[in-house]
Amino acid sequence: MTVWVIGDQLTREVGPLARADADERVLIIEAREFARKLPYHPHKLVCVFSAMRHFRDDLRESGYEVDYHQVETFGDGLDAHFETHPDDSLVTMEPAGHGAADRLESLVTERGGEIEFARDERFLCSADRFEEWAGDDDQFEHEGFYRMLRRETGYLMDDGEPVGGEWNYDESNRKFPGEEYDPPDPPRFEPDDLTEEVIEWVGEEFAGGYDEPPYGGSWADPGAFVWPVTREEALDALADFVEHRLPEFGPYQDAMLDEEWTLNHALLSVPLNLGLLHPREVVERTLDAHRERDLPLSSVEGFVRQVIGWREFMRHTYRRAMPDLATANGLDADHDLPDFYWTGDTEMACLADVVGSVRERGYSHHIERLMVLSNFALLYGVRPAAINRWFHAAYVDAYHWVTTPNVIGMGVFGSDRLSTKPYAASANYLDDMSDYCGDCAYDPDETTGENACPFNALYWDFLGRNEDRLRKNHRMGLVYSHWDDKDDDERAAIRDRVGEIRDLARTGDL
Ligand SMILES: Cc1cc2nc3c(=O)[nH]c(=O)nc-3n(C[C@H](O)[C@H](O)[C@H](O)COP(=O)(O)OP(=O)(O)OC[C@H]3O[C@@H](n4cnc5c(N)ncnc54)[C@H](O)[C@@H]3O)c2cc1C
Ligand code: SF4
């Protein structure tokens, strides 16, 4: 029997490896083929390949026999494995990507081997528990799931009731920091020799290798590599967040500042999604700090909600909604993705800044992803699969199971499985929650005219275009009452402005 460790299951804390003897054989296949499928940000590839190689070395130091194959495809790696160990049985955790287990099983059985898929223990909620909770009905919602998990884990619970008396402190969050606010510096994990080697190799092996227009492998503009790639670094990243940024995570989690790429966000999605951290330890460390240092409940609850609520909910909604979710296009959006998502070359200050951060480090925080990048794509009418592909290529923490529900469900409302109404907003919201508009070439208070912020005309046009689908949604009643106030001339001027915006986007002049 051999434990097969897949590249995003780098954990000895749970799963088959946690139960294996120290002299057990371990198989790791570093297949490059996946890295050529999209024009990935180089830092994403460095995260995965460096973390895998460090994990290999750690296991070897602990006495495991690790067969590490650096090959083009999983098939090549399995050929090499079964040549040395004919008829071997493999065990691995069930992969999170849709259809991946079936593909791996075929590859193994075609080579005369066997494979057993153990339960995916990288999440708090098992697939069975989710099925039991959700039943056959697809109307399940995040809030109910989150409360169920709070009750079951006992996290932030007191005698069956939520600590503090409320389930949610969003109202005391959503603040905008004053000008004097100086957030803690985010940590940077200096690349060691092994990571430096991977950075160089990724640059040679994958840069420019993807020549699909408009921008191939060279679209990114990588700055210093900052991400944790070992278990030790991941624990340091967690400790750093809990010590410095957790206390003010809540109030400023929706704010966007030109000069700050992370504010108080945790920067933990990379190690969580690689398996280097488990959500249980992330939450328990947070709760320990809450007890020991009397941290604000609004910050602690706000963070716990992200990790045990949204992350787990996305994982299981994806599992249930695939394969349809990946191609869902409930609003029939049919526009191409504007080139500035790759180049950052736009006069729109918000988009230029957020895309710049993504080009530099493969990251932007949640509200920038939702209310700038996907909000624009939603209003503009970009095909959901096109914007999903962009997110998948561009982010260091992107994996199909987590990117797809966030983008297609939450971001552009291709499916209504993740939210009951689209996250659509005009410049009003962005001006309130960011400092971008002050320095922008466009005016956030104007809807029509050449200096008017493109978000405004696109917003109204979006409501008009999708009236048949969205007006009946009772949560859209208020916004449609404002649309009803617009007369024919105003609506015609909005349509004209949208025509100009689309022309400018096509010529790269927006
Ligand atoms: C359009 C869009 C695309 C996204 N794509 C990804 C993606 O490819 N990979 C990814 O991990 N997350 C994705 N997210 C979710 C979220 O934005 C990131 O998890 C978060 O920004 C990561 O940064 P952080 O660790 O600083 O998170 P924080 O804001 O500090 O949150 C803490 C943790 O909560 C978890 N979390 C919070 N919200 C979500 C969510 N909606 N889905 C899953 N986990 C969540 C993450 O593990 C995160 O590390 C996306 C969100 C949107 C709106
Ligand atoms: S004015 Fe519009 S385009 Fe410019 S930063 Fe504000 S929201 Fe973005």
Nearest atom in ligand 2 to 444's CA: 1
Q: What does the alpha-carbon distance between residue 131 and residue 136 come to, in Å, rounded to a whole number?
A: 8
Per the CB < 8 A criterion, the answer to whether 75 and 107 are in contact is: yes
Is residue 20 within 6 Å of ligand 2 at its C-beta? no
Residue pair 411/337 in contact by the 8 Å Cβ criterion: no
Q: Where are the domains of the chain?
A: 2-118, 128-189+226-316, 340-507
Q: Are strands 25-31 and 2-4 parallel, antiparallel or unpaired?
A: parallel
The per-residue pLDDT for range 188-228, each reduced to its tens digit, is 999 999 999 999 999 888 865 555 545 555 788 889 999 99
Give pLDDT, residue 208. Answer: 58
Q: What is the mean pLDDT of residues 434-461?
A: 96
Architecture of domain 340-507: Orthogonal Bundle (1.10)
Is the C-beta atom of 267 inside 6 A of ligand 2? no
Which protein residue has the closest C-alpha to ligand 1 atom 15? 366
Report how far ligand 1's centroid is from the alpha carbon of 431 (Å): 23
CATH code at 128-189+226-316? 1.25.40.80
For residue 455 and ligand 2, the question of a CB distance below 6 A is answered with yes
- Whether 59 shows a pLDDT value over 70: the answer reads yes
CB of 444 closer than 6 A to ligand 2? Answer: yes
H or E element, residue 461: helix 454-465
CA of 488 to the centre of ligand 1 (A): 41
Return the ligand number nearest the Cα of 252: 1
> Nearest to residue 278, comparing CAs of 163, 58, 125, 157?
125
Q: Which tokens hold the place of 421? A: 């109404």
Residue nearest to atom 37 of ligand 1 (CA): 306
Cis amide bond preceding 214, omega within 30: yes
Q: What percent of the chain has pLDDT over 70?
A: 98
Provide the token pair at 151: 């009750």
Q: Give the number of C-alpha atoms closer than 13 A to the C-alpha of residue 201, restricted to the C-beta side.
A: 15
Residue nearest to atom 29 of ligand 1 (CA): 265
| Ligand 1 site-directed mutation target among 390, 397, 401, most atoms within 8 Å of CB | 397
Cβ-proximal residues to 4 (8 Å cutoff; 6+ apart), any chain: 26, 27, 28, 29, 90, 91, 92, 115
CATH of domain 2-118: 3.40.50.620
Extract the tokens encoding 55: 């994990």
Answer yes or no: is the C-beta of 440 below 6 A from any ligand 2 atom: yes
Ligand 1: which residue has its CA nearest to atom 42?
311
Could you say which ligand is closest to the alpha carbon of residue 405? Answer: 1
The pLDDT tens digits for 118-140 are 999 999 999 999 999 999 888 88
**Strand 25-31 with 65-71, pairing:** parallel
Q: What is the pLDDT of residues 157-180, one digit of tens each?
A: 999 999 999 998 887 788 888 888
Mean pLDDT for 391-399 is 96
What is the side-by-side order of every strand in the sheet holding 65-71? 65-71, 25-31, 2-4, 89-93, 114-118
Cα angle 357, 361, 365; round to 5? 55
The 3-state DSSP class for residue 115 equals: strand
Residues contacting ligand 1 via CB (< 6 Å): 265-269, 272-273, 306-307, 310-311, 314, 365-366, 369-370, 374, 391, 395, 397-398, 402-403, 406-407, 410-411
Residue nearest to atom 20 of ligand 1 (CA): 366
Q: Which atom of ligand 1 is nearest to the CA of 268?
A: 25
Rounded to whole angstroms, the Cα distance separating 17 from 61 reads: 15
In terms of Cα–Cα distance, which of 410, 40, 43 is closest to 195?
A: 43
